[in-house]
């Protein structure tokens, strides 16, 4: 099996359409094997060094269990232990871990740290989340949409809420997969201009429409997928009261959901602040695929690991 076209997994913008197809194909195969209790130890004796500067449930557990199921080992390192860029330079950490492990996962605040780790590491670096991007989440989400909807091309995907890292990665992923994406955020909370520019370029090349609006009602109308995320991300706690007021009209509730298609699915990357960005009756309702998304982090990330490390012959 060939590797991905890039050394590192930092952004979907760096991936080719063929890369995404390969990830989804292998993820589907690995998911089936795991469900059928078939061994798939494609990364036997391989190791993953995981650096966590941010709290984590899904990323930590899915990567650690995923490496174990693939026959490898994952080691968690928190910021207190590593002191990335404080106790030791990022370059020195990257070079040292490259002598021990086969890949590095980092979950951090500044995106520049991910980029710098990749620059100095001789092994693949995986972006487990930065303040700019969350590519593992977005690809897992799109894999879930493919499972539920079949053909992706031409679907309308409505993202309601903060133009944050998840939103940025969903924009890149939509362009790669032929999905039309509409983002609805309050004024001043739209996705970053640098990401919008790149995503628009990707979308134009793929014949995909990506729109940025300030009206959730318009965005959700006739949508196949309705997606939301927390209004206040880690590191923005001081803004919580202000954000709660600014985002009050952007809640995904039954009144908003009824405007989407009858068979629309509802998505959230978790953790959810129930009663804020989404109501409990929606997240626990029949249209929700939230926990399917969470599960698929395991399968998609295992595919990413296997393709990055060339583990399957």
In CATH, what number is assigned to the domain containing residue 84? 3.40.50.1370
Among the listed residues 13, 40, 60, 107, the single catalytic one is 107
Backbone angles phi, psi at 59, to 5 degrees: -65, -50
List the end-to-end C-alpha distance of the chain, in Å, as a whole number.
5
- Do 190 and 84 fall into the same domain? no
The secondary structure element, H or E, covering residue 289 is none
| 137 among known catalytic residues | yes
**5 in a known ligand binding site:** no
Among the listed residues 269, 293, 299, 301, the single catalytic one is 269
Q: Give the model confidence (pLDDT) of 135-182 as tens digits.
A: 999 999 999 999 999 999 999 999 999 999 999 999 999 999 999 999
- Do 285 and 152 fall into the same domain? yes
Q: In terms of pTM, does the model score above 0.75? A: yes
Taking a C-beta distance cutoff of 8 angstroms, is the pair 4, 176 a contact? Answer: no
Mean pLDDT of 27-49: 97
- Do 148 and 289 fall into the same domain? yes
What is the predicted pLDDT for the residue at 86?
78
Residue 147 lies in a domain: yes
| 229 among known catalytic residues | yes
- Do 143 and 255 fall into the same domain? yes
**169 in a known ligand binding site:** no
Strand order in the sheet with 210-213: 210-213, 180-184, 156-160, 225-228, 265-268
Residue 1 lies in a domain: no
Mean pLDDT of 296-303: 98
Residue 6 lies in a domain: no
Residue 2 lies in a domain: no
- Do 87 and 148 fall into the same domain? no
pLDDT at 66 over 90: yes
Q: How far apart are CA 247 and CA 185, in angstroms?
A: 8
**15 in a known ligand binding site:** no
Among the listed residues 134, 168, 243, 299, the single catalytic one is 134
- Reported confidence tier of residue 82, pLDDT bands at 50, 70, 90: confident
Q: Give the model confidence (pLDDT) of 249-295 as tens digits.
A: 999 999 999 999 999 999 999 999 999 999 999 999 999 999 999 99
Residue 177 lies in a domain: yes
| 297 among known catalytic residues | yes
* Count of structural domains, the chain: 2
**136 in a known ligand binding site:** yes
- Do 268 and 161 fall into the same domain? yes
**Domain, as residue range, for 92:** 12-134+297-308
Residue 226 lies in a domain: yes
- Do 105 and 182 fall into the same domain? no
| 6 among known catalytic residues | no
- Do 156 and 271 fall into the same domain? yes
- Do 188 and 108 fall into the same domain? no
Among the listed residues 229, 243, 293, 301, the single catalytic one is 229
Backbone angles phi, psi at 311, to 5 degrees: -80, -15
**60 in a known ligand binding site:** no
- Do 164 and 116 fall into the same domain? no
What is the predicted pLDDT for the residue at 111?
97
Backbone angles phi, psi at 124, to 5 degrees: -60, 140
Exposure string for 109-133, b = 16+ CB within 10 A, e = fewer: eebebbbbbbebbebbbbbbbbbbb
Residue 313 lies in a domain: no
Query: What is the share, in percent, of the chain residues with pLDDT greater than 70?
Result: 98
**270 in a known ligand binding site:** yes
Residue 4 lies in a domain: no
* Encoded tokens for 113: 């740290």
Among the listed residues 19, 69, 137, 243, the single catalytic one is 137
Q: How far apart are CA 33 and CA 43, in angstroms?
A: 15
| 14 among known catalytic residues | no
- Do 118 and 168 fall into the same domain? no
**233 in a known ligand binding site:** yes
pLDDT at 51 over 90: yes
| 60 among known catalytic residues | no
- Do 62 and 176 fall into the same domain? no
């Amino acid at each position: 099996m060939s590797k991905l076209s890039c050394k590192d997994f930092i952004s979907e913008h760096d991936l080719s359409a063929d890369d995404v197809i390969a990830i989804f194909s292998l993820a589907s195969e690995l998911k089936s094997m795991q469900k059928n209790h078939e061994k798939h130890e494609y990364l036997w004796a391989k190791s993953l060094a995981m650096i966590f500067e941010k709290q984590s449930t899904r990323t930590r557990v899915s990567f650690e269990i995923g490496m174990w199921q693939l026959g490898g080992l994952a080691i968690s390192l928190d910021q207190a232990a590593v002191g990335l860029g404080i106790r030791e330079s990022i370059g020195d950490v990257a070079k040292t871990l490259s002598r021990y492990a086969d890949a590095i996962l980092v979950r951090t605040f500044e995106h520049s740290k991910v980029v710098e780790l990749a620059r100095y590491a001789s092994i693949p670096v995986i972006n487990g989340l930065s303040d700019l991007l969350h590519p593992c989440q977005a690809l897992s989400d799109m894999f879930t949409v493919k499972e539920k909807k079949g053909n992706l091309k031409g679907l309308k995907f409505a993202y309601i809420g903060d133009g944050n890292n998840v939103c940025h990665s969903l924009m890149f992923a939509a362009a790669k997969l032929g999905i039309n994406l509409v983002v609805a955020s309050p004024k001043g909370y739209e996705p970053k201009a640098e990401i919008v520019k790149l995503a628009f370029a990707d979308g134009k090349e793929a014949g995909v429409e990506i729109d940025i609006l300030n009206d959730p009602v318009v965005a959700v109308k006739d949508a196949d997928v309705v997606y939301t995320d927390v209004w206040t991300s880690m590191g923005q706690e001081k803004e919580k009261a202000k954000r709660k007021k600014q985002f009050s009209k952007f809640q995904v509730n039954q009144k908003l959901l009824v405007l989407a298609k009858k068979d629309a699915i509802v998505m959230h990357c978790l953790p959810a602040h129930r009663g804020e960005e989404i109501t409990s009756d929606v997240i626990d309702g029949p249209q929700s695929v939230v926990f399917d998304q969470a599960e698929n982090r395991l399968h998609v990330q295992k595919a990413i690991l296997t393709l990055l490390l060339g583990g399957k012959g």
